[in-house]
Structure 1
């Protein structure tokens, strides 16, 4: 067992000074140092360190890892052209080798940013079957993290293979480390026939889908089917409880009401939204309908703490006032991210209490101003979030970051990743004449 000593801790609810934390795979005991009795634990001294629950990325695209530095002709006039000119070329050219190495790179960089649970939305056009198992191998088996995986079913790909990949993985893995959702790319890339096929076989598996990331998604739904996206998904009986609906920038009040009734969750990714120039979410609409909201990064980076800050700033910009939305709302969403992941994985995440999973991080932090439970999240956001570099990270009690370093064998694999990326880039370049277009 491990004992962290002389630490301050903050679990998004409680802040306590000069504490000890004893854990194995789960947290066993927490208390003030005055009560600590060493029983031959592995002791890690935590003076001037802050301990927190390790973090969760509520919506990720691990396959985007190899977009870094990729040069392609790029002159989009709208969101669809962004997909055509970049992302659909990148994901459509990926094979299992790319999937594995992108998982290693993304997982390691996530760990170095304190992330131990990843909710991923995957696509690899060359190799659909076996892709989720490959992600699990990299993220869960080799790095030791928790992963919630799915494949982006789309008529761009072999829809039968997409369905089989989602079903086989979700039925095989229902553990506290690995779970499968049923992935859908977006309503705009799925025909009526495909949605009907999925509806017949999905059983009670929650879906993970992009919704109204651009107004084009809603416009096309109305043009082609005479109804808005959420109503179309509901007509196909796909809005299962705990389904994860990503972005939801252009849903209306009726759709929001239906999302709330169906007990679905929304994942926000405002940095990506701003980067793509597609708009920002209506947080008051989610609040009005009691919709749980979590936070992801949409694959745009390695960390999640910058998303917390960017969400706060973006809502101030959208509302044209700094008082309608603030850190209290961000904190509520951070906590809801732990609630959602705990529900899907069937374990207790996000608190530093006995019985919770020992998913923890330790990060150097000496508060330059008084820190207490009322202002601790402000300290985290404005004192740490933009340069979040934990010294230690544990997932289920396993040390996955040891004084800023991961295991040598993982870093050796990381160093090999650029060879896989180079082969991917060569394939992507050959698609440079692809005209694209919505299926």
Structure 2
């Protein structure tokens, strides 16, 4: 049995000082230090906050190899961003590049305190088997949790995309990985493709970019005479537990549909600001009972930055310092854990008996008192403001110990760099 001792626990629901946590893969017991009876392996967490490890609700692992990429880039709109950068890059990825980008991304996730990711994958050179490559690198080798899909698009072989999604999602599952059905966006999917998908997926949830840009909505209305979400719903594609990412240009009818279908909106404030596409209407989503989870759209791994940008961005959008409350923030955090828990058939996101031992320790010396009344204020204005996890556990396995990775991937990093060079060379030759 393992134990954290002298821990100050903060799991978004409660704050307690002087606690111990007994755990293996799951948390077995939590109590006051006065009741601690010992354990085989002990971690002294004096001076640290113990929190659930974090979750990224919408990311693109393949973006790892875009870091530092220098190609002609002068976009006038969102589609230009896709055509001049992301579609050039993902079209040149093969299975080997997918595997090694997964190792690199998982490494950085651990350093950022993230142990569960919901990924939206694309690779043009090879489609078949790529989701399994992500599973092998991120879940099997790096010991994180992942929910994966391949973004079906008319840019690729649609039948192969469908098969890859279904093979992975309907194959073997575990508490560490699962699959849903990926689609790129309405503007890159014809009616024929949507019908093929609808005829294939049964009740499998989808994961799609929806109304991320004005062009996506405009394309749907001009070509098909309806909004993005209405178009998807008319093909019976918005299943329960589906993820619609971004949702910036939704109207009331679209928000109502998403809410009624018990689907989720994955909001990505940092990416939205970076791409200058605008910010989503959180009030509209909340009004129509749309559950929001937080992602970063592949823009790094530090999801604490996205929580800060969500908190401040909504106040800016609505021109009110009380437009987005700590309760709103807590709800978004909880939604992510509940969603992943459903898909993986586990409980995560709390430091409680029966929950998986997915935890982080963060050194935090506050100049002011911490209590259950002000804990969320400390999260935003203290913990996340200078966020550097000291220790990270997933399924009870320590992945980061005293700021150092427990898995040495130094030699693998040489292979990662070789693969990134190959990808960049392929992009250059493809211009």
TM range (shorter): over 0.9
Contact residue 143 and residue 410 of structure 1 kept, 8 A: no
> Cα offset for 1:409?
3.5
Aligned pairs for 1:57-68 within 5 A:
57-68=56-67
Q: Which moved more, 1:390-399 or 1:247-256?
A: 390-399
Q: Does 1:34 align with 2:34?
A: yes
C-alpha RMSD of the superposition: 1.0
Question: CA–CA distance in 1 between the matches of 2:427 and 2:316?
Answer: 36
Q: Which moved more, 1:395-404 or 1:285-294?
A: 395-404
**Which residue of the partner structure matches residue 193 of structure 2?**
194
Question: CA–CA distance in 1 between the matches of 2:138 and 2:257?
Answer: 34
Question: CA–CA distance in 1 between the matches of 2:390 and 2:158?
Answer: 44
> Cα offset for 1:328?
2.6
Secondary structure of residue in 1 paired with 2:332:
helix
Question: CA–CA distance in 1 between the matches of 2:54 and 2:200?
Answer: 33
> Cα offset for 1:301?
1.2
Aligned pairs for 1:17-416 within 5 A:
17-38=17-38, 40-416=39-415
Question: CA–CA distance in 2 between the matches of 1:412 and 1:396?
Answer: 25
> Cα offset for 1:99?
0.5
What is the CA deviation profile of residues 381-419 of structure 1, one whole-angstrom value per residue up to 9, with x for unaligned ones? Answer: 221214322121111111111222223432331343111
Question: CA–CA distance in 2 between the matches of 1:383 and 1:323?
Answer: 19
**Which residue of the partner structure matches residue 436 of structure 1?**
none
Question: CA–CA distance in 1 between the matches of 2:172 and 2:203?
Answer: 14
What is the CA deviation profile of residues 278-312 of structure 1, one whole-angstrom value per residue up to 9, with x for unaligned ones? Answer: 01000110110111100001101111111000011
Q: Which runs of 5+ in 2 are unaligned?
A: none
Give the aligned length.
Answer: 431
What is the CA deviation profile of residues 305-340 of structure 1, one whole-angstrom value per residue up to 9, with x for unaligned ones? Answer: 110000111112111121112333122101111111
Contact residue 173 and residue 180 of structure 1 kept, 8 A: no
Question: CA–CA distance in 1 between the matches of 2:40 and 2:48?
Answer: 19
What is the CA deviation profile of residues 405-438 of structure 1, one whole-angstrom value per residue up to 9, with x for unaligned ones? Answer: 2234323313431111111001111222xxxxxx
Q: Which runs of 5+ in 1 are unaligned?
A: 433-439
Question: CA–CA distance in 1 between the matches of 2:311 and 2:277?
Answer: 18
Secondary structure of residue in 2 paired with 1:409:
coil
Secondary structure of residue in 2 paired with 1:427:
helix
